[in-house]
Structure 1
Amino acid sequence: MTSDDGSPDDWTTPGTFEVAPGVWRVPLPLPDDGLRAVNVYVLRHDDGLVLVDSGWAVAGARAALDAALEELDSTVKDVRRFLVTHMHRDHYTQAVHLRREFGMRVSLGAGERPSLEVTMSPERDPLAEQLDRLRQLGAGELADTLARITRGRVPEEDWELPDDWFRGGDEVRHGDRTLHVVETPGHTRGHVVFHDTGARLLFAGDHVLPTITPSIGFEPVLSANPLGDFLGSLALVRQRPDARLLPAHGPVTPSVHARVDELVAHHGARLDETEVAVARGAQSAYEVASRLRWTRRERELGDLDVFNRMLAVTETAAHLELLVAQGRLTRADADGLRCYASA
C-alpha cells in the first residue's frame, strides 16, 4: 500500500494506492483493451467499504481486486455498495457478478436505463444498433466487417438492472464523507460523477480523463446531440469548486478545471476541422472521419483497428450533429444515408 505519487506512465501498475485519507485507487486489468486498466476507488470507513466503479467481470480483475482489498485488511464481503459512474462493462459488470455472490447494493445513473434495457434484451445481436447507425453514416463496409466478427457470439450474462438509480442532486454519505452526484451525460446518456467537496476530490469516471478524450456517440440509445450534452456537462463541472481529478483511466492529477479547459479546446478545434472537411466536399460522417487524423500519433482512419474505426466514425457524427445544432451545417437523410453540407 503506497501513496499515489508515481509517474503518469505507471498508473496501470497493480496495487493499492492511497490518494487521500480513507481513499485508495486500485487499477484493475482489462482484457485485450488498449486502455490496459480501469481505476476502481475504495472508500473505507468503520462500517465497511464503498467502491466507485467495479471493473470488468473477468478473472484477472477479480483476483486483482481481492489482492488489493487484502492489503486493506478487507475482502469483497466488506463492500456495502458500488457507486457506478456508467454502464460500460469495464465499470459495471464486476459489480453485477459480485452482487450475485454477496448481495451488496449497486447504484447507477438513471439516464443509463434505456441503453441498459436494450443491452439486456436476449434477442439482440451484439452491437445491432451501432451497426445500423454505421450504415446510416456511410460506413457500410465497416459495419459488415464488424457484423462478421460478432456473428454467432453467445450473449453474455453480465447485465442486470441496478438496485437503485442516481439522479443529479443526490448525495451519498459514507462515514463523515458526503459525495454529491452530478449528472454528466456525453460519454453515455446516464454518466454521473461523484464530487467530494469537503476533501476536494472528483471521482470522474470517463467524463474527464487526464490523457485521452472520452469517446462520444457510442451507445445503443443515443441522445440527439451527444457532443452538445458532453460540452454542457463539462461546463457544469467547471462551475463547481476545483478538485483533484480521480479518473477511471489514467493517473490522478491536481486539477479538474485544468483538464476540462483542455478538453473544451480540443473539441473546439475538432469542430472547426470537421466543418472544413465538409466545406471541401466530404458529405457523410465516414467521409469526414477519413479526412481527419486520429490519436496523438495523427493516424489515418484506415490505420486504426476495426473497433476504433467504429468509434472514430460515431464520434465524427457527434461533431457533425453539434455543427448542425449550431447552424454551421445542414443535414439531409436520403436512401438510408445521412449527408451534411455547409449552411
Structure 2
Amino acid sequence: MTQVTRVTEHGGGVWSIPVPIPDNPLGHTLVHLLDTDRGPVLIDTGWDDPTAWDTLTAGLAACGASVSDVHGVLVTHHHPDHHGLSGRVREASGAWIAMHAADAQVVRRTREADPSRWLDYLQEKLAAAGAPEEHLAPLRAARASGRTDVPGQRAALPDREIVPGELLDLPGRRLRALWTPGHTPGHVCLHLEEAHPVLERRQAAEGDTGRGRLFSGDHLLPEISPHIGLYEDPDDTIVTDPLGDYLDSLERVAALAPAEVLPAHQYAFTDAPGRVRALLRHHEERLSGLLALLTTPLTPWRLAEAMEWNRPWEQIPYGSRTIAVSEAEAHLRRLVKLGRAEAVPGSDPVTYQAV
C-alpha cells in the first residue's frame, strides 16, 4: 500500500514535509525541500527510523520528486531528528551533506567516542552537579556491564562545510548561512535572499520592510523555546556560555526581519522580530526567577528540581532529567557571567547563590 504524506507548498520552489519523530511530544520534524537548477536540496532529513524514511520518501513523491533526485542535504544542526536520515539519503542519491564545522566536530567526536570514557564523563559531571545516587546508579551499571552504545555513533559525517555569511553553492538560488549557536554549537539558520512570492508584496503595501524567508531549524520556533544546555565535550577545557550564545544569535535573526520563518517544528510564521522579543523576555524572566530561588544556595540538580518544566519533576523521565540539569547549568553559567550569581567557595558538590 502506497503511503501518502501531506506536504505544504510554500511557493517559489519551497515545500515542507512533516517527518515523524518516534515517541516525542514534538510529533514531527519539518523537512524542507528547496528546488534548485541542479535538483532538489533538503534542509534537514528527520529521525533515522523506518516510518520516518517511508514518510520522507512519500513526501518527496508528493512534491514531484524522489529521493534519488536529491542533490544535497543542508543540516541545520546535528541532533538526530534533523540529521538522522542524512546518511541514508546520501546512499540513495549520491547527495552531498553540509553542516557547520562546530557541529561536524560533534558528529566526528561522537563517532570516535570511547563509550566507557563517555559514561565516566557523564557520571562525573552529574555527580558534580549534585545528582542523587539513584540517578548515578544506572550509569555505573552501564559502565560495569561494558555497554558500548553511545547515541549518535552512526551519524553520517558531512562532505561539505556550511560557512557563515557565505552564499551556498545552490544553482539558481540565493541561500546564505547565518551561524546561530546556542541550541548546539554549530546550529545555523539559512536565509533565502529572494522575494517572498506572496507576503513581501502585501507587507510592502503595509509599510513592512521584511525580506526573504528564513529556515530557522530549532533556533526560532513559533510557540516554544528550544533546549539550551551545555555543549558536551569531555576534552573541552573552555567554559562556554550556550545561553549567552543563543540570546546573541536571536538578536542577529531579528535584525534580518525576514518576511516569513520556516522552522523545523510546529508551523511557518511571520514577525520574526516580535517572536525574538518574546523569547528574550522569556529568558530574562526565567533568569530572574532563578535568582529568586538562589537566595538559598543550590546545586544545579536542586535548581533543576525547582525550575518550571512542562510537567512536574516527578513525571520527568530519567534521560530528560539529565537534559534538564544541563539546561539549569547553562542558565547558571549565564548568571555567573553577568555577575548575578556565584559559586559558594568550598561547596562540594558545588552550590550557587545569588549575588
- TM-score, with structure 1 as normaliser: 0.88
Work out the CA distance in 1 between the residues paired with 2:222 and 2:137.
32
Q: Equivalent residue for 1:294?
A: 309
Q: Which amino acid aligns with 1:233?
A: S
Out of 148, 156, 161, the residue aligned to residue 160 of structure 1 is: 156
Residue of structure 1 equivalent to 2:299: 284
Deviation at 1:125, TM superposition (A): 4.8
5+ residue gaps in structure 2? Answer: 197-211
Identity of aligned residues (%): 31
| 3-state SS of 1:341 partner | strand
Once the 2 structures are TM-superposed, how far is the Cα of residue 174 of structure 1 from its aligned partner? 3.1
Kept after mapping to 1: 8 A contact 2:115/2:149? no
Aligned-partner Cα distance in 2 for 1:196–1:322:
32
One of 44, 55, 63 as aligned partner of 1:53: 44
| 2:103 paired residue number | 112
The equivalent residue for 2:82 is 91
- Please provide the CA RMSD for this pair: 2.4
Residue number among 129, 145, 154 corresponding to 1:137 in the alignment: 129
**Number of aligned residues:** 327
- Choose which of 256, 261, 264 in structure 2 pairs with 1:245: 261
Q: 1:154 to 1:319 in 2, by over 3 A?
A: closer
Matching residue's letter, 1:139: A
| 2:136 aligned partner, one-letter code | D
1:261 to 243, 252, 277: 277
2:37 aligned with 1:41: no
The TM-score normalised by the length of structure 2 is 0.85
Residue 316 (structure 1) aligned with residue 328 (structure 2): yes
Matches within 5 A, 1:19-34: 19-34=10-25
Q: CA deviation at 1:335?
A: 7.5
* Equivalent AA in structure 2 for residue 214 of structure 1: P
Q: Secondary structure at the match of 1:235?
A: helix
> Structure 1: any 5+ residue segments left out of the alignment?
1-12
Paired residue type of 1:185? P
| Cα distance between partner residues in 1 of 2:160 and 2:101 | 8
1:167 positional shift: 2.2
1:130 Cα offset (Å): 4.3
Larger Rg: 2
Which range moved further: 101-110 or 177-186? 101-110
- The answer to which of 177-186 and 221-230 deviates more is 221-230
After superposition, the Cα gap between the structure-2 partners of 1:109 and 1:305, relative to the gap in structure 1 and judged at 3 Å, is: same
Q: Does 1:233 align with 2:249?
A: yes
Distance in 2 (alpha carbons) for counterparts of 1:330 and 1:100:
50
SS at match of 1:316: helix
Query: 2:7 matched to which residue of 1?
Result: 16
- Structure (1/2) with the larger strand percentage: 1
In structure 2, what is the equivalent of residue 275 of structure 1?
291
Deviations 1:225-266 (A, max 9, x none): 110111011111111233311111111112222211111111
Paired residue for 2:232, among 214, 217, 220?
Answer: 220
Q: Is 1:189–2:201 an aligned residue pair?
A: no
Structure 2 vs 1, CA of residues 206 and 146 (structure 1 numbering), >3 Å: closer, same or farther?
farther
